[in-house]
């Protein structure tokens, strides 16, 4: 699959990245080369192979769950301590619409 | 006695004999950091005051006749993607440039509980994405053996700090080789534990199915000791395993008689620097002399590991890094008129080039119409990589490969060619894909005087075997200490 500047612009929008013109040009060539390299996997026949999504092999998927009891959480003050713009116990953002 | 160059064993012997104090050692280490960090750039943040306060507490406990905790009075550097409450944790990124975590990572808390002294936060590739520590928004770290060379990455600051005696131990994180490759390039010991062995709570996530925190040290014994502190189940990390933690130090008897060491033939072929190959072959002969049995084996799908890894890791990164949007923490661009404009501009200015490139690649392979062709395909190939290890371990106890294809390379040499940089990880990424543990231990010097490391690989949770195999070699063939500049 060929990566064009148009693909890069579409992906940048999906990733919420405003790329500069220079970045768009540079990423077009580099992503094209890297994605072609990814295509090497097509040499392998994986029709009968199960996908592997994690490496906790053989573990009971619920083994690490704790008892459902209430424990203290971070609290509003600590959670807001790094906020660029806190206000009235919330995170403030520019207008949405 | 040079108190900054000691191992934990030597340090503890000196404390027990009242030859020095934690405050004296900590001061000497901090002074050395002050002198050498301007050149090496191994630290982003140095925590002098809190380190001296920790040291004073250790000295009080010693004076009160308390027994030494496992890491009492040991100066430790923390990779800057691991949260320490109240101390700047940047991930070497502008987007987290002002982030002061309100909580401490479990691994870090365990080190503190064991008496460790935190001297600072170590430089790294931004968000742990890179193999040279050149992708740091705080400038590149340098290799203490030759400052024109990179220390490797992404935990390059940690490895450089240990090699230059700017700490005794350091933490790293390893998603595709980020502990083992810099350990190899800096001539220190580094271990990536089994996936699930060490809690990742408080580690800034990169590739969640791959990331592990692990130790760096000057010797295998120090690394074994530190792993014993770090390992164990944590209710805050659902991927942490409920597997008992053995006594890693007790397992070090240096006996490798009859141990079957497998050498995957793919690891000794094309693309391997002749000097690295020669050093690894010499180590194999040394193991044979120690009574180990050398077995040729194969990891037939390892040629697909790099593309497979970069599909999985970038996909996971694109999802994990979506949280950095200027809303709850970190950098936010000024003057954006709408929320979406704020997101886009904050992320464009906040992330560096390699991070953006990986977010773009991950977003592409996960996007509608490409998911099956790339991400699902990569997950299937990952199963094949895991099976390769399972088969190899049917006839071998450990595997041995080079850690990196070359010794340390020059700064700037690979920055314009991301694919070449990705190939630095060719021997290391397969372990993260399968979840098995690996360790890099120094096994030689190049003619240019740069360290060469070899990688030992064991089945899941067999870190004791890994450490003892490295220990046996290290006892028989001590690695030369770097001459101080």
Residues B280-292: pLDDT tens digits? 999 999 999 999 9
What are the pLDDT digits (tens) for B55-72? 999 999 999 999 999 999
CA dist., res. B373 & res. A42, Å (int): 9
Instruction: Measure CB to CB from residue B342 to each of A14, A56, A94 and give the nearest one.
Output: A94
Cβ–Cβ gap A27/B357 under 8 Å: yes
- Distance set, CA B278 to CA A36, A82, B221, B398 (Å): 33, 51, 26, 20
Judge: A19–B348 Cβ closer than 8 Å, yes or no.
Answer: yes
Radius of gyration of the CA atoms of chain A, in A: 23
CA atoms B285, B286, B289, B291: torsion sign: negative
Backbone angles phi, psi at B454, to 5 degrees: -115, 150
A56 located within any domain: no
Q: Average pLDDT in the B67-93 region?
A: 98
**Rg of chain B over CA atoms, in angstroms?**
21
Per the structure, how many domains does chain A have? 1
Q: Do A51 and B311 touch (CB under 8 A)?
A: no
> Hey, is the C-beta of B370 within 8 angstroms of any chain A C-beta?
yes
pLDDT digits (tens, 9 = 90+) for B170-222: 999 999 999 999 999 999 999 999 999 999 999 999 999 999 999 999 999 99
Q: What is the pLDDT of residue B485?
A: 47
CA B142/CA B363 separation, integer angstroms: 32
Residue A97: closest CA among B348, B341, B344, B322: B341
- Closest CB to B241: pick one of A15, A59, A78: A59
Q: Indicate yes or no: CB of B347 within 8 angstroms of CB of A18.
A: yes
Determine, yes or no, domain membership for A40. yes
Q: What is the pLDDT of residue A64?
A: 66
Look at the block and give the residue holding tokens 């002399």. B289
Ramachandran sector of residue A58 (left: φ over 0; alpha: ψ -120 to 50; beta: rest): left
Q: Which residues make Cβ contacts (< 8 Å) with residue B12, sequence separation at least 6?
A: B68, B72, B73
Q: How much is the average pLDDT of A4-31?
A: 96
> Between B196, B306, B380, which is nearest A49 by CB?
B380
Helix (H, G, I), strand (E, B) or coil at B310: helix
Exposure string over B192-208, b if 16+ CB within 10 A, otherwise e: bbbbbbbbbbbbbbbbb
Q: Alpha-carbon distance B87 to B120, whole Å?
A: 9
Residue-wise pLDDT tens digits, B440-474: 999 999 999 999 999 999 999 999 999 999 999 99
Query: Which helix (H) or strand (E) covers residue B295, if one does?
Result: strand B293-297
What is the distance in angstroms between the Cα of A33 and the nearest Cα belonging to chain B? 8
Token code pair at residue B258: 């009859």
Please enumerate in sequence order all residues whose Cβ is within 8 A of that of B469, keeping only pairs 6 or more positions apart, or say none: B256, B259, B261, B398, B456, B458
Distance (Å, whole) CA B3 – CA B24: 9
Q: How far is B395 from chain A (nearest CA, A)?
A: 20
Select the residue of A66, A81, A93 nearest B339 (Cβ to Cβ).
Answer: A93
Q: Which two tokens stand for residue B195?
A: 């996936």
Write out the two tokens for B316. Answer: 């996971």
Q: B132, B178, B184, B464: which is the annotated catalytic residue? A: B178
Size of interface A-B (CB pairs under 8 A): 178
B392 sits in which H/E element: helix B377-395
Q: Is B245 exposed, middle or buried (0-12, 13-18, 19+ CB in 10 A)?
A: middle
pLDDT (0 to 100) of residue A56: 67
Average predicted confidence (pLDDT) for chain B = 96
Look at residue A61 in the predicted model and tell me its pLDDT: 57
Q: Which two tokens stand for residue B288?
A: 């044979």
Give the SS3 label for residue B323: helix
Q: Could you tell me the pLDDT band of residue B415, with boundaries at 50, 70 and 90?
A: confident
* Nearest-angstrom CA–CA distance, B62 and B205: 38
Residue listed under structure tokens 């993260």: B432
- Give the list of residues 6+ apart from residue A26 with CB closer than 8 angstroms, or none: none
What pLDDT is stored for residue B483 in this prediction? 57
- Alpha-carbon distance of B360 to A15, in angstroms, equals 7
- What is the pLDDT confidence band of residue B334, given thresholds at 50, 70 and 90? very high
pLDDT > 70? residue B384: yes
At how many degrees (to 10) do helices B220-230 and B463-476 cross?
160
Beta strands in B372-458 (DSSP E): 398-402, 438-445, 451-457
3-state secondary structure (DSSP) of residue B170:
strand
Neighbours of A2 (CB within 10 A): 8
Does residue A7 belong to any structural domain of this protein? Answer: yes
Do B359 and A15 count as a contact with CB atoms less than 8 A apart?
yes
Is there a domain that residue A35 lies in? yes
Q: Is the C-alpha dihedral spanning A84, A79, B197, A65 positive or negative?
A: negative
The pLDDT of residue A62 is 58
Q: Answer for the pair B193, B212: CB distance below 8 angstroms, yes or no.
A: yes
Q: What mean pLDDT comes out for the span B405-409? A: 96
B208 is catalytic: no
Mean pLDDT, to the nearest integer, of B308-329?
A: 97
Is the pLDDT reported for residue A86 higher than 50?
yes
Give the residue-averaged pLDDT of B278-306. Answer: 97
B79 is catalytic: yes
Q: Which domain holds residue A22?
A: 1-44
- 3-state SS record for B334-383: CCCCEHHHHHHHHHHHHCCHHHHHHHHHHHHHHCCCCHHHHHHHHHHHHH
Specify the DSSP element, H or E, that contains B390. Answer: helix B377-395
The Cα–Cα gap between B94 and B351 comes to 7
Catalytic entry in B93, B132, B154, B158: B154
**What are residue B297's DSSP bridge partners?**
B264
Residue the block writes with tokens 């970190």 = B330
| Cross-chain CB nearest to B379 (options A14, A52, A66) | A52
B143's CB contacts (< 8 A; 6+ apart) are B149, B150, B151, B152, B160, B163, B185, B186, B408, B450
Active-site residue, B446 included: no
Domains in chain B and their CATH numbers? 1-485 (3.90.1300.10)
Q: CA of A12, closest CA in chain B: separation in Å? A: 7
Question: Whole-angstrom Cα distance, residue B118 to residue B48?
Answer: 9
Cβ contact A1–B360 (<8 Å) = no
Looking at residue B5, its pLDDT comes to 87
Cβ contact, residue pair B307, A41, below 8 Å: yes
- Summarize pLDDT for B7-42 with one digit per residue, the tens: 999 999 999 999 999 999 999 999 999 999 999 999
Q: How close is the nearest chain B Cα to the Cα of A57, in Å? A: 8
Residue A59 has pLDDT above 60, yes or no: no
Evaluate whether residue A19 is within a structural domain.
yes
Look-up of token digits 């340390």: B408
CATH of the domain at A37: 1.10.20.60
Residues 6+ apart with CB under 8 A from B64: none
């Amino acid at each position: 699959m060929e990566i064009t500047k148009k693909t890069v612009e579409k992906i940048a929008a999906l990733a919420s990245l405003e790329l500069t013109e220079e970045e768009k040009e540079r990423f077009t060539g580099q992503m094209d080369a890297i994605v072609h390299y990814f295509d090497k996997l097509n040499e392998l026949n994986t029709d009968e192979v199960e996908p592997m999504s994690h490496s906790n092999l053989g573990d009971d998927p619920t083994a690490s769950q704790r008892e459902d009891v209430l424990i203290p959480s971070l609290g509003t003050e600590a959670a807001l301590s790094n906020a660029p713009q806190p206000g009235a116990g919330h995170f403030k953002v520019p207008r949405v619409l | 006695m040079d108190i900054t160059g000691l191992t934990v064993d030597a340090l503890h012997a000196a404390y027990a004999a009242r030859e020095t104090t934690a405050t004296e050692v900590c001061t000497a280490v901090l002074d050395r950091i002050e002198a050498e960090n301007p050149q090496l750039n191994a630290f982003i943040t140095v925590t002098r005051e809190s380190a001296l306060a920790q040291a004073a507490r250790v000295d009080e406990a010693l004076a009160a006749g308390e027994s030494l905790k496992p890491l009492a009075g040991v100066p430790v550097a923390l990779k800057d993607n691991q949260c320490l409450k109240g101390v700047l944790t940047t991930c070497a990124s502008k987007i987290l440039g002002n982030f002061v975590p309100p909580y401490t990572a479990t691994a870090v808390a365990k080190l503190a509980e064991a008496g460790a002294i935190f001297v600072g936060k170590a430089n790294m590739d931004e968000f742990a994405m890179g193999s040279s520590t050149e992708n740091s928004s705080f400038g590149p770290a340098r290799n203490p053996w030759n400052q024109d060379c990179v220390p490797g990455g992404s935990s390059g600051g940690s490895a450089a700090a240990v090699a230059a005696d700017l700490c005794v131990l350091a933490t790293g994180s390893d998603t595709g080789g980020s502990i083992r490759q810099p350990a190899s390039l800096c001539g220190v010991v580094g271990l990536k534990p089994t996936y699930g062995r060490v809690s990742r709570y408080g580690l800034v996530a990169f590739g969640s199915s791959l990331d592990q925190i692990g130790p760096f040290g000057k010797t295998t014994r120090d690394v074994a000791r530190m792993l014993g502190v770090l390992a164990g189940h944590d209710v805050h990390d659902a991927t942490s395993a409920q597997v008992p933690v053995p006594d890693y130090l007790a397992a070090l008897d240096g006996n490798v008689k009859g141990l079957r060491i497998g050498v995957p033939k793919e690891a000794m072929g094309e693309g391997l620097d002749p000097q690295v190959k020669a050093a690894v072959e010499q180590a194999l002969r040394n193991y044979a002399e120690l009574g180990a049995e050398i077995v040729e084996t194969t990891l037939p799908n390892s040629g697909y590991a790099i593309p497979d890894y970069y599909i999985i890791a970038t996909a996971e990164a694109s999802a994990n890094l979506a949280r950095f949007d200027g809303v709850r923490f970190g950098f936010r661009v000024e003057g954006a008129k709408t929320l979406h404009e704020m997101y886009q501009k904050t992320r464009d200015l906040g992330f560096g080039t390699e991070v953006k490139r990986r977010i773009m690649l991950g977003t592409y392979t996960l996007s509608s119409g490409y998911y099956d062709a790339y991400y699902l395909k990569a997950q299937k190939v990952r199963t094949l990589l895991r099976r390769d290890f399972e088969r190899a371990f049917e006839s071998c106890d450990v595997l041995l490969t080079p850690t990196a294809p070359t010794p340390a390379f020059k700064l700037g040499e690979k920055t314009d060619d991301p694919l070449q940089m990705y190939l630095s990880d060719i021997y290391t990424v397969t372990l993260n894909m399968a979840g098995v543990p690996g360790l890099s231990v120094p096994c030689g010097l190049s003619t240019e005087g740069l360290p060469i490391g070899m990688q030992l690989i064991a089945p899941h949770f067999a870190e004791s075997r890994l450490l003892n195999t490295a220990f046996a070699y290290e006892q028989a063939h001590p690695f030369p200490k770097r001459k101080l500049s």
